[in-house]
């Protein structure tokens, strides 16, 4: 079998940055930290993804300017929950399948960084026909858009797509849905333990992609497993 891993699979810039910061702090901090945690006063290191931070600042700005804020995204997602803290009590969260409720005259729109741009376009097209003044900030992360496009291209070229990542990960689920629209055989897994050899009967080309929070070692493990299956055939 020919196995191709999407170049953007695995940790996005924001996740990798946060992990690098955590490891650096672990290396640079002495073991006296255990004594320090009992004292008052802590050094706060903000490892929030810069793209998420930008969305939060946009939400704060729109609130200060008097806009009713509409957030395009998944209401249960931690990023959106954080955005609501900056957006104000009258903020509304919508996904592209929701019905847009009555809005105020001034509406500001921001979007969860891992949402597809099509979702933003759909909401914007509706809002501009309802509100008198609309300000839109496209806060979608470039890595998300690139990952989706790369997955789309790869799904066209293979017999099977393997999507690796957490089942509760919004962007990984998007990759699985997108792959299923293009490739007839798609498997969404979290670990190599879920892989079954008979999935690959008759398959010659396998594509692998992973969500922004999927560690590279998990993806490498999937590749290793598929190579072992290929050798047996």
Task: Indicate whether 116 and 192 sit together in one domain.
Answer: no
How far apart are alpha carbons 181 and 160 in whole angstroms? 12
CATH number of the domain that 114 lies in?
Answer: 3.40.1010.20
Q: In the predicted model, what is the mean pLDDT of residues 28-32? A: 56
Q: Is the pLDDT of residue 158 over 90?
A: yes
Which of 142, 171, 189 is the C-terminal boundary of a domain?
A: 142
Confidence at 30, pLDDT banded by 50, 70, 90: very low
Of the residues 101, 120, 142, the one at which a domain ends: 142
Share of the chain above pLDDT 70, in %: 85
**Start-to-end C-alpha separation, the chain:** 9
Positions marked active-site: 79
> Using one digit for the tens of pLDDT, what is the confidence trace for 213-227?
888 888 999 999 999
Q: Where a domain ends, among 73, 108, 142?
A: 142
101 shares its domain with 123: yes
- Is residue 162 domain-resident? yes
Same domain, 117 and 167: no
192 CB neighbour count, 10 Å cutoff:
16
163 and 221 assigned to the same domain: yes
58 and 87 housed in the same domain: yes
30 domain-assigned: no
Q: Is 178 helix (H, G, I), strand (E, B) or coil?
A: helix
Pick the residue with more confidence: 38 or 108? 108
Is 86's pLDDT higher than 80? yes
162 and 220 fall within a common domain? yes
80 plus 93 within the same structural domain = yes
Segments in the chain forming alpha helices (H): 13-28, 33-36, 50-64, 78-87, 117-127, 142-155, 170-182, 216-232
Residue 29 lies in a domain: no
Helix (H) or strand (E) holding 92: strand 92-94
Looking at the domain assignment, is residue 24 inside a domain? Answer: no
pLDDT at res. 45: 65
Please say if the pLDDT value at position 11 is more than 70. no
Answer yes or no: is 91 within a domain: yes
Range of the domain at 107: 50-142
> Among residues 76, 115, 68, 77, which one has the least CA distance to residue 96?
115
Tokens matching residue 215 = 């560690």
Phi, psi of 113 (to 5 degrees): -65, -20
Q: What is the mean pLDDT of residues 45-69?
A: 87
Question: 214 and 164 in one domain?
Answer: yes
Beta-carbon contacts of 203 under 8 Å, excluding residues fewer than 6 positions away, are: 1, 159, 160, 185
160/138 same-domain check: no
The answer to whether 94 touches 70, Cβ cutoff 8 Å, is yes
Confidence band (pLDDT; 50, 70, 90) for 78?
A: confident
Which of 138, 150, 152, 163 lies closest to 213 in space, CA to CA? 163
| pLDDT, mean of residues 192-219 | 90
Shared-domain flag, residues 91 and 168: no
Domain total in the chain: 2
Q: What is the pLDDT of residue 46?
A: 66
Please indicate, yes or no, if residue 22 is contained in any of the structural domains. no
Identify the pLDDT of residue 25.
Answer: 63
What distance in Å separates the CA atoms of residue 50 and residue 232, rounded to the nearest whole number?
45
Section 157-186 average pLDDT: 91
| 39 found inside a domain | no
> Which position has the higher pLDDT, 102 or 187?
187
Position 145 confidence tier, pLDDT thresholds 50, 70, 90: confident
Q: Quick check: 98 pLDDT over 90?
A: no
**What's the whole-number average pLDDT of the chain?**
85
Q: pLDDT band at 26, cuts 50/70/90? A: low
Of the listed ranges 41-45, 87-91, 128-132, 165-169, the one predicted with least confidence: 41-45
- CA atoms of 170 and 157, how far apart (whole Å): 24
What's the CA gap between 24 and 191, in Å, rounded?
Answer: 28
Same domain, residue pair 124 and 187 = no
pLDDT higher than 60, residue 22: yes
């Amino acid at each position: 079998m020919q196995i191709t891993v999407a170049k953007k699979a695995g940790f996005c810039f924001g996740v990798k940055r946060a992990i690098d910061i955590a490891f650096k702090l672990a290396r640079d901090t002495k073991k006296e930290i255990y004594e320090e945690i009992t004292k008052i006063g802590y050094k706060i290191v903000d490892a929030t993804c810069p793209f998420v931070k930008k969305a939060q600042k946009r939400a704060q700005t729109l609130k200060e300017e008097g806009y009713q804020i509409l957030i395009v995204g998944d209401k249960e997602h931690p990023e959106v929950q954080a955005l609501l803290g900056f957006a104000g009590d009258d903020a509304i969260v919508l996904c592209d399948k929701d019905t847009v409720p009555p809005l105020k005259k001034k509406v500001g729109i921001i979007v969860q960084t891992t949402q597809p741009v099509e979702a933003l376009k759909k909401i914007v097209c509706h809002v501009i026909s309802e509100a008198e003044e609309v300000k839109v900030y496209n806060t979608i992360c470039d890595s998300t858009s690139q990952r989706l496009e790369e997955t789309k291209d790869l799904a066209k070229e293979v017999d099977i797509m393997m999507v690796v990542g957490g089942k509760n990960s919004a962007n990984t689920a998007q990759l699985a849905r997108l792959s299923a629209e293009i490739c007839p055989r798609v498997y969404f897994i979290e670990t190599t333990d879920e892989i079954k050899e008979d999935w690959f009967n008759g398959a010659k080309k396998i594509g692998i992609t992973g969500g922004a929070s999927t560690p590279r070692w998990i993806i490498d493990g999937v590749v290793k497993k598929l190579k072992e299956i290929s050798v047996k055939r």
